[in-house]
Amino acid sequence: MKENSVSISPIINETTLKQNNKNFAVCWIKNEVDGIEINDVLHKNISNSIFFLDPKYQWKIFKNNSTKSSGYILYIADEVLNNPMLSNLHINEVRLFSSNEIPLLKLSPGIEKRTQAILEMIDELLGSNLNHKDQAILSLLNTFFVYCDGQCNIKSAIANNNAKTNIVYKFKKLVDQHVLNNHEVTYYAKQLNVSSKYLNECVQEVLNVSSKHIITEQLLMRSRHQLKFSTKSIKEISYELGFSSPDYFSYFFKNHTGITPSALRIN
């Protein structure tokens, strides 16, 4: 993982402000919190809840003057959420909510201690120099979000979301399933029974990027993962990812990252 692609801090201060970064914020609010203000709207009665906040939101958390921690704030980069270990979780669907949709994800009773333990371990690992800590952090994030998937009202919240967002979510899910064999937007538009133009319009409106960018992002993420964590040759990886030749794969990778596949593997 890149430096600062995951960070965490306890909610201790009477007022906790959004940090100045472009990562998603996952706020687990445990107790003793008066409310969270998101884009000048105050939300109260939020104990034992999770807010999944897009980088575009401005927010701050208010609590009493107790010195005890009232939860944690996780900052997570988009590339981490798109990691193969995390990409299929329902929690990822929340990222597609439009600007007027800020879901309150209410945890079921009884998992507070488990949630706290997972986040404390992430906090401890981030401050360590242990070998393989990135894989350990990803594993803990996966466990945390599995609890969210199983215990929160995510599915019902997503069901109430708008039509364009649903198309974008279905598109991202199809890309995740078929990107090894299909790199073109037209394939996914056909699967969704919409035109390529309309699909791109939906993706642009919801995510502020093009449909092609989503496909490219998925290919790059899988490329990096294979180059870093597998012993397969670059030739094997290129064909596995659906490229016509190793040379074209190398061109694609360098064009989008600035370095060759072999250079990344050495680093």
Asked whether residue 130 falls in the same domain as residue 179, the answer is no
- pLDDT confidence band for 151 (50 / 70 / 90): low
Contacts of 129 (CB under 8 A, 6+ apart): none
Q: Which of 19-23, 43-47, 174-178, 232-236 has the highest mean pLDDT?
A: 232-236
Q: What is the CATH number for 86?
A: 2.60.120.280
pTM of this prediction? Answer: 0.64
Mean model confidence pLDDT for the chain: 83
Check whether 252 has a pLDDT greater than 90.
Answer: yes
Q: Interior CA angle at 79 toward 74 and 81, to 5°? A: 55
Asked whether residue 150 falls in the same domain as residue 220, the answer is no
Other CB atoms within 10 A of residue 267 CB: 8
Q: Confirm whether 1 is domain-assigned.
A: no
Sign of CA dihedral 134, 139, 141, 142: positive
Asked whether residue 88 falls in the same domain as residue 14, the answer is yes
Each residue of 95-112: pLDDT tens digit?
Answer: 655 445 566 677 766 677
Asked whether residue 125 falls in the same domain as residue 191, the answer is no
Check whether 52 has a pLDDT greater than 60.
Answer: yes
Its domain, for residue 109, covers 6-159
Asked whether residue 155 falls in the same domain as residue 167, the answer is no
Q: What is the CATH number for 241?
A: 1.10.10.60
Asked whether residue 42 falls in the same domain as residue 118, the answer is yes
- Domain count of the chain? 2
- pLDDT confidence band for 141 (50 / 70 / 90): very high
End position of a domain, from candidates 159, 182, 210: 159
